[in-house]
């Protein structure tokens, strides 16, 4: 059964089949249902479990993809396995599957998220890259906002904080700003700061170099 909510950019689906009369039968867990339908989804379709609900998103817009790609490319060039030839300090992945927490590995019902970009400091990064889903908690996640961003700004922000992800960015591709959120060591709520567009920017956790926002947002130099 599939329902269409007010947001036209996502489809909410209930893949829990009704239990049969047999005493041995039981509804399929959400995680199992997600794995079963993944091969049936169109290319570039995103599926997540948010607050216990399986949500399937349509492919993102071209602008969304461009901003996500150019941000990740720049970070990888500077800090990852990019063009500098230095020892990588970070591992960046595009749309990795991330389960809520390592200690919940045995649980069937859990959060499952696919951020647009995620980064791990190299000393604690996943080593098996021949897979799509990971249990290792990222050190930084980034969501490029859609036209209806409430899920990224409220629900997902709370989930990433619960995961104790130290840094969470929300990037607005049309208005060209970045909300950079940091999780204080003794708190469970992000402290966020909005960075309006300017040609370059230094912000945690990548404040060791200047992020070229002209390149990220494809702004013509004046």
Structure-block tokens of residue 29: 């867990």
Question: What is 24-47 written as a DSSP string?
Answer: T--PPPHHHHHHHHGGGSPTT-EE
CB 112 within 8 A of CB 105: no
Structure-block tokens of residue 220: 């013509």
CB 145 within 8 A of CB 172: yes
CATH topology of domain 62-217: tt1808, chain A (3.90.1570)
Q: What is the pLDDT along the chain (222 residues), one digit of tens a residue?
A: 343 344 434 444 444 433 333 334 344 565 666 677 677 777 777 888 887 777 888 888 999 999 999 999 999 999 997 666 678 899 999 999 998 754 444 555 568 899 999 999 999 999 999 988 898 999 999 999 988 777 778 888 988 998 899 999 999 999 999 999 999 988 889 999 999 999 999 999 998 889 999 999 999 876
pLDDT of residue 6: 41
Closest residue by Cα to residue 178 from 154, 155, 153: 153
Angle at the Cα of 63 from the Cα atoms of 121 and 157, rounded to 5 degrees: 45
**Which class for 50: exposed (0-12), middle (13-18), buried (19 or more C-beta within 10 A)?**
middle
Distance between CA 103 and CA 125 in Å, rounded? 17
Structure-block tokens of residue 40: 């049936």
Where in the chain is CATH 3.90.1570.10? 62-217
Distance between CA 166 and CA 68 in Å, rounded? 20
CB 158 within 8 A of CB 50: no
Helix (H, G, I), strand (E, B) or coil at 202: coil
């Amino acid at each position: 059964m599939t329902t269409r909510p007010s947001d036209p950019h996502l489809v909410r689906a209930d893949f829990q089949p009704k239990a049969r009369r047999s005493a041995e039968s039981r509804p399929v867990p959400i995680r199992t249902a997600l794995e079963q339908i993944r091969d049936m989804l169109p290319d570039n379709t995103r599926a997540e479990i948010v607050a216990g609900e399986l949500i399937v998103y349509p492919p993102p817009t071209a602008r969304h993809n461009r901003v996500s790609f150019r941000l990740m490319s720049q970070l990888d060039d500077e800090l990852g396995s990019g063009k500098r030839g230095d020892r990588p300090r970070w591992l960046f992945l595009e749309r990795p599957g991330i389960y809520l927490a390592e200690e919940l590995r045995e649980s069937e019902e859990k959060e499952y998220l696919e951020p647009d970009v995620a980064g791990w400091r190299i000393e604690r990064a996943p080593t098996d890259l021949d897979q799509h889903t990971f249990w290792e908690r990222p050190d930084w996640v980034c969501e490029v906002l859609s036209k209806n961003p409430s899920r990224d700004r409220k629900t997902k922000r709370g989930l990433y904080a619960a995961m104790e992800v130290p840094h969470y960015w929300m990037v607005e591709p049309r208005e060209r700003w970045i909300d950079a959120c940091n999780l204080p060591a003794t708190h469970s709520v992000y402290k966020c700061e909005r960075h309006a567009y300017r040609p370059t920017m230094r912000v945690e956790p990548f404040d060791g170099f200047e992020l070229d926002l002209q390149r990220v947002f494809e702004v013509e130099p004046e």
